[in-house]
Structure 1
Amino acid sequence: MPDSKDSAAHSYAPVSSSEKTGADAQTIEPNPKEPASVSSRLHTTYLFPILHILWCILLVLCMVFLLDGYHAILPDAARYVDGQLRLRVSDVTTIISVALVVTRLLVGAWVGVILWNIVFILLETSGLRLTEITLTFTYKVLPWHAIRGNKSGLFVVALLLLVIPQPLIGPLISGAVDWDVGFQYSSDLAQAQAGCPGASPLLWFWYYYSSEDRRSYVRRAAAYASIAWDGTTIDKGHCRHIMNDDGFPVNSSIRDATIPCLRINSIAFPTEYPPDDVFQIVNHSVHATIYEDDLTRVKDPPLSYGIDGNASDNAFLMDVPSAYLHTGIFHAVVLINGTVSLNGNNCTDLKESIFGMKKFNNIFTPNERGNYYRCFTYAVVNLTAGVVKSPESTYISSRVIQGDATDSELHIEAAPWVQEAMYLMPDVMSVFSMMNSSSLPTWNNLEDYVTRLIRYSYQGSWDMLSRSFEPDDNLLSVRRYEQRQVAQVSHPRVFGWLGVSLALTLSWVLLVLGQKYSSRKIVEDGPVAALVTNCSPLLDSAEKELTNISSASEAKGEKKIKLLRERVGRYSLNWTD
């Protein structure tokens, strides 16, 4: 074992290039196959940091330019959309995880190279105990005595600080992807039949000539209005239409559909008493005679709800109505309260009503023969009713479409069934208002209530007529709306991760530039370099047998080990104080 003087003689000192060259010339024959420069070792020493930085840049570019804004399919959606494979959120998460595993493998390989070089530098300069070598490899903890007060200590600390964060920054990029709700229209157009497959012109004759047949159609029209205006979507003045239930997703787009449309030009509640003709219509509506029928409590045979009269037994065909456009004045009468006592004030001062108002501008009572006053008000409505050709319409449910433009933005045209829809509309309004399936608000909302009731009832009436009596085999183009989960990549987090990853590249540069702190070459394969290092002086002078130890703790109490250069290209391990 060398004494303290010998140890001092082998303490770290930078080796000049002239010394290396001279010693090599004296002791070793030149080997033409041995690498002679830094550039010649590019494929070995620098392989891992080069692959690492290229891989990191590739991952960042993919996330920023390919993943950001990507429309992933829902878990229950088909894998192939429009002939292309689409990924789910779980697929994207898996791909990012695999990319990070590859990154960790490259980082782990390079960290091993750095740690072996740190150990060899510290062995050559200040020396290390066996337990300190274990701490360095296992916990990345450097002994204080080895890094204190010398440049090589600062050098190895800088190397360690550059590589230690690398295995810990994975969550920074794996958590950089948020998912928002979005959609995407299919590139392939689907087809939807414009008319109802069950429509039959034979039924029109019996509807027109038989009031019994018309009863069920009134209920059907009210049902269509309830389907179109069920209160689940906001009414912003757009026109709606009932389509076949073809299973198209909500928000799908359909082109050039014919939609019934009624525009309210103005509405006013006059202060004067209603005209006599309006009064008589109301009076007769209240006191109409109903024939007795033992099968029903409401004087309406129950089975008639689902029977279209006797039209199916006949083959008489009548032409459909000609095109018609209704525009002009319409009187709407509204029942405010139907149970006002005859001993009261004859509707002049109501105590309660569903509209929240106690006084109305033109309230009146028809001729009363029962036990209560029925209090009404009326409005004068200027309207235009027809159909519109909507360039683009949207499915708001599986069978209801809504024009993308409001009724004021589209030209209302004449069409068949418009006049009959206007004739039928008062009956539909009465049934629809009693159903109240659309949740029309009434409280302090009389004008808007009347406006919407007219519009909704007209739509239900026209849809019922066209879908019952007019076959239409024309096919309309539909763009399917596919719900998606849209990736939102946080650019600051992604580029922050790339910035921290560049520290590994800096450790490579620093290691190359710091070769002057060691008399030997950069250690590329640490285990092999350690295995072939001469340990005879170390083992021969050890107080304990070291060739059979299983852990560094068994060598506790031993002195520090130092790497000594016997000559250029030959090194040995020995004990030092």
Structure 2
Amino acid sequence: MAWMTTLWPLVAHFVLSSGTAAFVLYYLNHRGFNVAGHAAYVQTTEDKKKLTFSLTQSDAVTILSALIVAQKGALAACTTPFCWRAIVFLMERNGLHRQDLKRMIKYRLLAPQTSLASIPAFVIGNLLLIALAANLASPALTGSITWSLQNLPISNLSIPPVGFENVEPGGRKGLPDLYKNNKVTRDGLVQRAVGLAGIAWGRTVEEGIYKRVASSTEALSVNTTIEDVTIPYFVTRSINWIKNKNELPAYIIKHNTSMTGLDLLSRVPSTLPLASPGAAILISYPINKIHWSNITLDPMIIDNRGLLVFWLGLRTTNFTRGLPCDTYKHTINSTQRNYAFAWVNFTAGVGRCTRYRCVLSSPSTVQNSASVTPESHTLTALALAMAPAVAVFLANQNSSLPSSWDDTDQYIKSLLQRSYSAAWNALVDDFGTSKVNSSYRPSLPSLVASVNEPRVCVWLGLQLSVTLLSFVFLILLAHLSEFPLIGDTTLIAFYLNTTLLPESPNTHPFVKGSLKVEEECERLNVKIE
């Protein structure tokens, strides 16, 4: 029974310390909690849906605080009796200076020189020091948690699907008559594509990110995940800037490199607007003589090389300083415009996000959250034909493109990807023959805990060091002491016979005389002698 009284605080301290650390590392870490109230609502495509009971952030903090209080209580129950056991043991083994005794009773610390006197004293000194550190280490645990507001997807809900426009292979035998015969319609689609690019993209460089704007997702919250959706795919594999005029195709020299003359290219189904510095057009080479109206809607991936024409500025001013120094710059004397040219290798098609690997980055923009593989699509060629007109508009507005000043290649890659993606997006919305339904996981604003794991490990290491050294001390006590004081040591100070000790010159600074404890009627009373 005495051993049980001695060991249970150690066991309780070990269990509570490990449990508290596990609660922080495995329950709190990366888990979201309701911002306000235990019942929350998520927005679906139709209405709001009530969720089941969930803890709030204040609940989680309260639970952690309660665990810390219980753990510190176990630590006190573990270390307080050990102080008197250590005092008696040290006085039994090698004796103890009066100052060391006062220091151990007042501060529960052992002087360094006393700790180094023997192995048992070293164990006791370290135990007392680590116990003090463990008692003061709670801020390391609570400070390891940072909270951030995030939108977390909620799964296992019974909700209606979200639909996306789709053009099935064979769904259209050719281009719609309104698109084919009406230039205003084609130009309107270009304008719509420019607007879609402004919705989806900002000025940030986003490599490996592919986006699609869908009006069906406007009601959903940011970070909602979509199970299955098709998104436009365009990757620039390489950009090789032309260094010599002799490398320029004869077609470019013939048309005097005029950006307004490039709208004669049969691949562009709409009029190119008046361009400004920073405009770039990717044209197929050799020049495709097939009129855009004869483009077939056959599923395809286009893996090709094109010629890029980039208006980089005027003779005296440049739009960029990021071109290689040996890049050939062609100047038109009549307008003083400077052009650069490059061979661009690219892949165009679509990609599919499956298994909830697409996420809403803004209220109507779907983007991939994992790598995608290019696939064929019926609108690939037509979107690529429309992209140059969209690119010129985007360069003119310069609101959804990164800066071209330092990194020209990244600017060109972003311009080409965004112009193709926006063109495909506008075409699939206009040419759609069916809707493809997809499941989704609506998101809920939550406070998410992020735990600094090394801090928690430091805190747990201190607590477990107390437990380990306590067991080592008990083993030493059991083997080296004639009266190991196993059991309850609460009243040990009352059973010490100190009559043979010389009194200190100022033993009781607040009492004239000495204190005598007597038992009367089962009560302890103190008197002054």
Would you call these one fold, judging by a TM-score over 0.5?
yes
**Structure 1 segments unaligned to the other structure (5+ residues):** 1-41, 123-127, 143-154, 289-297, 300-319, 339-349, 534-550, 564-572
Question: CA distance change for structure 1 residues 502 and 208 in 2, over 3 Å: closer, same or farther?
Answer: same
Residue 425 (1) aligns with residue 355 (2): no
Among residues 375, 378, 385, which one is paired with 2:348 in the alignment? 385
Match of 2:245 in 1: 271
1:496 aligns with 2:458: no
1:351 partner letter: T
* Equivalent AA in structure 2 for residue 102 of structure 1: G
Match of 1:245 in 2: 218
Residue 193 (structure 1) aligns with: 162
What residue is the counterpart of 1:67 in the other structure? 24
Closer/same/farther in 2, CA of residues 95 and 215 from structure 1, 3 Å limit = farther
Q: CA RMSD in A?
A: 5.7
Say which of 119, 132, 135 aligns to 1:170: 135
Q: CA deviation at 1:193?
A: 2.2
SS state at 1:169 partner: helix
Deviation at 1:426, TM superposition (A): 2.0
Partners of 1:217 and 1:157 in 2: CA distance: 82
Find the aligned partners of 2:358 and 2:385 in 1 and give their Cα distance. 29
Is the CA contact 1:241–1:402 (under 8 Å) kept in the aligned structure 2? yes
Measure the CA separation in 2 of the matches of 1:574 and 1:451.
92
Output aligned runs, 1:117-516, within 5 Å. 139=106, 166=131, 169-172=134-137, 175-176=140-141, 178-179=144-145, 188=156, 193-195=162-164, 206-236=178-208, 238-243=209-214, 244-250=217-223, 253-264=225-236, 268=240, 269=242, 271-272=245-246, 273-276=248-251, 279-280=254-255, 283=258, 285=260, 322-325=297-300, 327=302, 328=304, 330-337=306-313, 350-356=315-321, 361=328, 363=330, 365=332, 372-381=335-344, 383-391=346-354, 393-395=357-359, 397-398=361-362, 399-403=364-368, 410-415=373-378, 417-443=379-405, 445-470=407-432, 472-478=434-440, 483-486=448-451, 488=453, 490-491=456-457, 493-501=459-467
Listed one character per residue, the Cα deviations across residues 347-371 of structure 1 (whole Å, up to 9, x for unaligned) are xxx33321336985362539x5xxx
The equivalent residue for 2:512 is 556
| 1:188 match: secondary structure | coil
CA contact (8 A) 2:309 2:342 kept: yes
The amino acid across from 1:218 in the alignment is V
Matched residues in 2 for 1:376 and 1:463: separation?
A: 30
Post-superposition shift, 1:446? 4.7
CA gap of 1:165–1:467, structure 2 versus 1, over 3 A, is same
Cα distance in 2 for partners of 1:394, 1:562 equals 77
Residues 271 and 187 (structure 1 numbering): CA distance in 2 closer, same or farther, change over 3 Å? same
CA distance change for structure 1 residues 188 and 488 in 2, over 3 Å: closer, same or farther?
farther
Change (3 A) 1:281 1:207: farther
User: 1:72 and 1:447 mapped to 2: Cα distance?
Assistant: 37
Q: CA deviation at 1:221?
A: 0.9
2:105 maps to 1:96: no
Quote the offset at 1:429 in angstroms. Answer: 0.9
Confirm or deny: 8 A CA contact 2:383 2:420 kept in the other structure: yes
Aligned mates of 2:16, 2:222 — CA distance in 1: 35
The alpha-carbon distance between structure 1 residues 418 and 517, as it changes in their structure 2 partners (threshold 3 A), is closer
Alpha-carbon deviation of 1:321?
7.8
Amino acid at match of 1:496: L
Secondary structure of the 1:175 match is helix
What displacement does 1:106 show? 2.6
**Separation in 2 of the partners of 1:282 and 1:158?**
86
Q: How many pairs does the alignment contain?
A: 431
Q: In the alignment, which residue of structure 2 is the partner of 1:149?
A: none
Counterpart code for 1:556 = K
Pick the aligned partner of 2:11 from 33, 39, 54: 54
CA distance in 2, matches of 1:255, 1:104: 50
CA–CA distance in 1 between the matches of 2:239 and 2:480?
Answer: 89
Deviation at 1:103, TM superposition (A): 1.8
Name the SS for the 1:456 alignment partner: helix
Percent sequence identity over aligned pairs: 15
Instruction: After superposition, give the CA deviation of every residue in 1:290-333 in whole Å (9 maximum; x if it has no partner).
Output: xxxxxxxx99xxxxxxxxxxxxxxxxxxxx98344364554443
Shift of 1:62: 1.6
Deviation sequence 1:168-217 (CA, Å, 0-9, x none): 632236625634789987553787624269xxx9x976455433344443
Amino acid at match of 1:322: L
Equivalent-residue separation in structure 2 for 1:378 and 1:159 (angstroms)? 78
Partner SS, residue 234 of structure 1? coil
Question: What TM-score do the two structures reach when normalised by structure 1?
Answer: 0.56
Q: Distance in 2 between matches of 1:507 and 1:486?
A: 34
Residues 203 and 400, structure 2, Cα contact 8 Å, conserved in 1:
yes
Q: Could you state the TM-score of these two structures normalised by the residue count of structure 2?
A: 0.60
TM-superposition CA deviations, 1:473-525 (whole Å, max 9, x none): 4333445788542352544542332332455567777888899669x998767
**CA distance, structure 1, for counterparts of residue 389 and residue 486 of structure 2:** 99
CA separation in 2, counterparts of 1:511 and 1:84? 52
State the 1:55 CA deviation: 0.7
Change (3 A) 1:266 1:94: closer
- Residue 395 of structure 1 and its aligned partner are, at CA, apart by 2.9
SS in 1 for 2:350: strand
- Please report how far the alpha carbon of residue 376 of structure 1 lies from its aligned counterpart in structure 2 after TM superposition: 3.5
State the Cα distance separating 1:241 from its structure 2 match: 2.4
Change (3 A) 1:161 1:285: closer
CA contact (8 A) 2:162 2:440 kept: no
Tell me if structure 2 keeps the 8 A contact 1:100–1:170.
no
Separation of aligned partners in 2, 1:266 and 1:164: 63
Larger radius of gyration: 1
Return the alpha-carbon distance in structure 1 between the equivalents of residues 255 and 124 of structure 2.
Answer: 100
Q: Quick one: distance in 1 between partners of 2:194 and 2:490?
A: 84
Q: Secondary structure, in 3 states, of the residue corresponding to 2:463? A: helix
Alpha carbons of structure 1 residues 266 and 194: separation in structure 2 relative to 1, 3 Å: farther
Q: Structure 1 counterpart of 2:332, which letter?
A: T
For structure 2, the residue ranges without an aligned partner over 5 or more in a row are 41-50, 93-97, 110-119, 167-171, 264-272, 275-294, 497-506, 519-525
Specify whether residues 46 and 217 from structure 1 end up closer, same or farther in structure 2 by C-alpha distance, changes over 3 A only.
same
- The answer (yes or no) to whether the contact 1:48–1:109 under 8 Å persists in 2 is no
Equivalent residue letter for 1:336: L
Q: 3-state SS of the aligned residue for 1:354?
A: coil
**Counterpart position of 1:539:** none
Aligned to 1:13: none
2-structure distance, mates of 1:94, 1:284: 68
**Residues 164, 229 of structure 2: 8 Å contact kept:** no
User: Distance in 1 between the 2:312 and 2:384 partners?
Assistant: 23
Change over 3 Å in CA distance of 1:504–1:516 after alignment to 2: same
Letter in 1 for 2:245: T
Matched with 1:22 is none
- C-alpha distance in 2, partners of 1:440/1:523? 73
